[in-house]
Amino acid sequence: MKNTVVTFAQAKEQGIKQTVLTAYDYSTAKLMDEAGVNAILVGDSLGMVCLGYEDTLSVTMEDMIHHTAAVARGTKNALVIADMPFMSYQTSVYDALLNAGRLVKEGRAQAVKLEGGAEVADQIRAIMKASIPVMAHVGLTPQSVHTFGGFKVQGRTETAAQKLLDDARAVQEAGAFAVVLEGVPAKLAEMITKELTIPTIGIGAGPGCDGQVLVYQDMLGMFSDFTPKFVKRYGAIGESMVAAFKQYMEEVQNGSFPDEAHSFTMDDDVLDKLY
């Protein structure tokens, strides 16, 4: 079944949890789609897990379009959501609309995600008006790392919790079809989830959200630079990869690879004539 913003809304009504994973390339997207994940987010986390930056701030529109197009080519049923990178929407409503349009036209995204609450409501409204679905993102929004003074849980004080609730209401009112709650205390995320009519997708926000999202390299144990507390490892793929790389090196060095089964043959008389 094709997942759309409509099926996301229906899932909230029916109490069905939505599953979202990040992907950045064709073959990974294809595997996730085959597994039946509801949405694939081409996150700007690609800056860290694919490009080796220390945060998401250097990711460009060109990076996002390039990776979104690859994911879209590998996806049939999952909803493809592309992150709007830093400074592609904060500068003006016009820039937001233009760049959201590029992610759909050139990257073949089916929705875009941007970070922020009330301060980006005008951008959300304009993008939605152009018939591009928007997923909002509040709480620990990584593009604000320098204003937060690091990657810190948000909404722990009364003022901060109230601001988070107000921001979640503001993005819903602006027309977002869903909102990511990142790095938020579980009880606050549960309260916001009950308060909103649009689905909440949690990451580090406890079990009370309408769905969950994880960065796939984190959940598969492929990325060890930094492991947040909320990440559960569903595999040790990084270890398996290193073991496979080592075995390949050993077999190349000792001559056991490539063997006959992995080589091509030709008629001996052709070779004889050459000799």
Binding-site members are 44-45, 83, 113, 115
CB of 151: closest distance to ligand KIV in angstroms? 11
Choice between 174 and 209, CB closer to ligand KIV: 209
H helices of 130-236, in order, are: 145-148, 158-174, 186-195, 216-219
Which two tokens mark 191? 């309260």
- In the complex, what is the shortest distance from the CB of residue 172 to ligand KIV, in angstroms, rounded to a whole number? 18
Beta bridge partners of 202: 181, 212
CA 195 to the chain's CA centroid: 25
Cβ neighbours, 10 Å, residue 253: 9
Supply the minimum distance, in Å, between the C-beta of residue 98 and ligand KIV: 21
Nearest residue to ligand KIV, scored by beta-carbon proximity: 43
Active site members:
182
By beta-carbon proximity to ligand KIV, the closer residue of 22 and 193 is 22
| Closer to ligand KIV by Cβ: residue 22 or 272 | 22
Residue ranges in contact with ligand KIV by CB under 6 A: 22, 41, 43-45, 83, 137, 180, 182, 203, 213, 215
Residue given tokens 């190349």 in the structure block: 252
**Which residue numbers belong to the known binding site for 3-methyl-2-oxobutanoate?**
44-45, 83, 113
| Minimum gap (Å) between residue 215 Cβ and ligand KIV | 5
**82 and 101 in contact (C-beta within 8 Å)?**
no
Pick the closest to residue 112 from 145, 85, 76, 142 (CA basis): 85
Phi, psi of 223 (to 5 degrees): -135, 115
Q: How far apart are CA 220 and CA 57, in angstroms?
A: 24
- The three-class DSSP label of residue 193 is helix
